[in-house]
């Protein structure tokens, strides 16, 4: 026989209410927008990429593979070192991106791809998750490290976005390092331009072929203070013309950071990333839907970018320190180094994300 029902004790009601609130509610402060990721992640960490695309083992030599891992390792070591010593996320992402810009393997800074005119036009952006300040430059031709110029735009001007000669004049006024055009001349990128020119008009998939060469670089970080930052730098796409600018310097598309949710740096076919506002969309899903960073990244890459035919990937870190690295391409040069952990780098899609 069932025992007659008894009134619930006040203590039991309180305990149950506490349990339900903990187990069922999203991680939310009183009155705040629901947030995902209740469990704290590493206290600090940096996540980087060196571009996504058709990167396969067949298209790689052991030597080249080792060079990519070594370059990613160097960027992680510098970024992680800054964070470990209590430096800011902003300093960490700039330092990491500068290393990748100076490495000819990547399509940013020194290894930038060529435009249809045989020149190099570089784009970069940075965002500070603590203040929502941002800086971006596009179409600069003589700045050695465009990410440093983007940071100057953010910190030393009342503006967010500067292009071409104006951006370079501003940079000169602030002592930014410039180089001769020959600094950006690498044989690999020059040959890629010749192939693109030859196949243009006859082979509509030339840009997909060149996808193999894509190597935009980016970094996101969380520092000990809990502040987030994102930075991205690129030469854009081989054979680009008419002043084409991709997603990288478009705040919210290729680069975004907010302490309320996450920091994101993207890489891939920029036109699609602009149209689907990838970086901000991931953060917005966390803020408004309470999704985890991983779920939000997958939803945006698969259900927004992917359905339009866009290809690429993102690296991201959330406000609790969880990293995410996600792409819909066969490979993405990527890595992370989280507090208390070891550096992780990967190239191919089947290597997981190291977590």
Does 247 interact with ligand ASP (rule: CB under 6 A)? yes
- Residue found by looking up tokens 């072929």 in the block: 209
Q: Residues 48 to 67: which contact ligand ASP by CB under 6 A?
A: 51
Closer of 220 and 338 to ligand ASP (Cβ) = 220
C-beta separation of 219 from 45 below 8 A: no
For residue 39 the two structure tokens come to: 């469990």
Q: Residues 195 to 224: which contact ligand ASP by CB under 6 A?
A: 214, 216
Phi-psi region of 153 (alpha: psi -120 to 50; beta: other; left: phi over 0): alpha
Closer of 41 and 254 to ligand ASP (Cβ) = 254
Q: How far is the CB of 292 from ligand ASP (least distance, A)?
A: 24
Does 148 interact with ligand ASP (rule: CB under 6 A)? no
Q: Residues 5 to 44: which contact ligand ASP by CB under 6 A?
A: none
Does 246 interact with ligand ASP (rule: CB under 6 A)? yes
Site string for ligand ASP, 163-202 (x = CB under 6 A): ----------------------------------------
Closer of 236 and 290 to ligand ASP (Cβ) = 236
C-beta separation of 80 from 93 below 8 A: no
Q: How far is the CB of 185 from ligand ASP (least distance, A)?
A: 19
| Residue 40, helix vs strand vs coil | coil
| Residue 32, helix vs strand vs coil | coil
- Picking from 51, 350, 62, 53, the residue whose alpha carbon sits closest to that of residue 209 is 53
For residue 347, how many other CB atoms are within 10 A of its CB? 22
- Reply yes or no on whether 216 is catalytic: yes
Interface residue with ligand ASP among 37, 233, 234, 259 (CB under 6 A) is: 234
Among candidate residues 88, 148, 186, 216, the one labeled active-site is: 216
Distances from the Cα of 272 to the Cαs of 33, 153, 246, 282, 310, in angstroms?
29, 26, 9, 15, 5
Closer of 148 and 211 to ligand ASP (Cβ) = 211
C-beta separation of 49 from 327 below 8 A: no
Interface residue with ligand ASP among 35, 88, 107, 148 (CB under 6 A) is: 107
Does 268 interact with ligand ASP (rule: CB under 6 A)? yes
Span from 66-74, 134-142, 266-274, 326-334 in contact with ligand ASP (CB under 6 A):
266-274
Interface residue with ligand ASP among 50, 111, 252, 270 (CB under 6 A) is: 270
Closer of 305 and 338 to ligand ASP (Cβ) = 305
* Pairwise CA distance, residues 227 & 129, whole Å: 6
* Pairwise CA distance, residues 328 & 128, whole Å: 27
Q: How far is the CB of 99 from ligand ASP (least distance, A)?
A: 17
Closer of 135 and 215 to ligand ASP (Cβ) = 215
* Pairwise CA distance, residues 260 & 319, whole Å: 7
Burial 10-24 (b: 16+ CB within 10 A, else e): eeeeeeeeeeeeeee
**Active-site amino acid positions:** 216
Question: Could you list the residues that contact ligand ASP (CB under 6 A)?
Answer: 51, 107, 214, 216, 234, 236-237, 246-248, 254, 267-268, 270
């Amino acid at each position: 026989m069932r025992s007659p029902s008894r009134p619930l004790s006040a203590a039991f009601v309180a305990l149950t209410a506490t349990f339900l609130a903990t187990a069922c509610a999203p991680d939310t402060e009183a009155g705040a927008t629901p947030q995902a990721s209740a469990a704290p992640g590493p206290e600090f960490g940096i996540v980087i990429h060196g571009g996504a695309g058709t990167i396969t083992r067949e298209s790689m030599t052991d030597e080249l593979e080792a060079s990519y891992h070594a370059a990613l390792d160097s960027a992680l070591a510098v970024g992680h070192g800054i964070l470990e010593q209590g430096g800011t996320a902003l300093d960490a992402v700039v330092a990491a991106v500068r290393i990748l810009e100076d490495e000819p393997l990547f399509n940013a800074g020194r290894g930038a791809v060529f435009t249809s005119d045989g020149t190099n036009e570089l784009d970069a952006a940075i965002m500070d998750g603590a203040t929502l300040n941002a800086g971006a430059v596009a179409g600069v031709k003589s700045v050695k490290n465009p990410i440093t110029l983007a940071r100057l735009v953010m910190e030393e001007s009342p503006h967010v976005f500067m292009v071409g000669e104006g951006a370079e004049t501003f940079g000169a006024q602030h002592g930014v390092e410039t180089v001769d055009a020959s600094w950006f001349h690498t044989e690999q990128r020059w040959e890629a331009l010749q192939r693109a020119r030859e196949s243009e008009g006859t082979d509509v998939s030339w840009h997909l072929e060149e996808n193999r060469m894509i190597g935009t670089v980016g970094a996101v970080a969380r520092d000990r203070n809990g502040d987030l930052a994102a930075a991205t730098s690129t030469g854009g796409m081989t054979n680009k013309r008419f002043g084409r600018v991709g997603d990288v310097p478009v705040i919210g598309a290729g680069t975004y950071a907010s302490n309320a949710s996450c920091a994101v740096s993207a890489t891939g076919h920029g036109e699609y990333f602009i149209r689907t506002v990838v970086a901000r969309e991931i953060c917005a899903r966390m803020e408004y839907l309470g999704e985890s960073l991983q779920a939000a990244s997958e939803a945006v890459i698969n259900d927004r970018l992917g359905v339009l035919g866009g290809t690429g990937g993102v690296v991201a870190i959330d406000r609790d320190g969880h990293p995410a690295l996600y792409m819909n391409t066969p490979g993405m040069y990527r890595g992370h180094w989280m507090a208390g952990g070891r550096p992780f780098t990967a190239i191919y899609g089947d290597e997981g994300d190291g977590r």
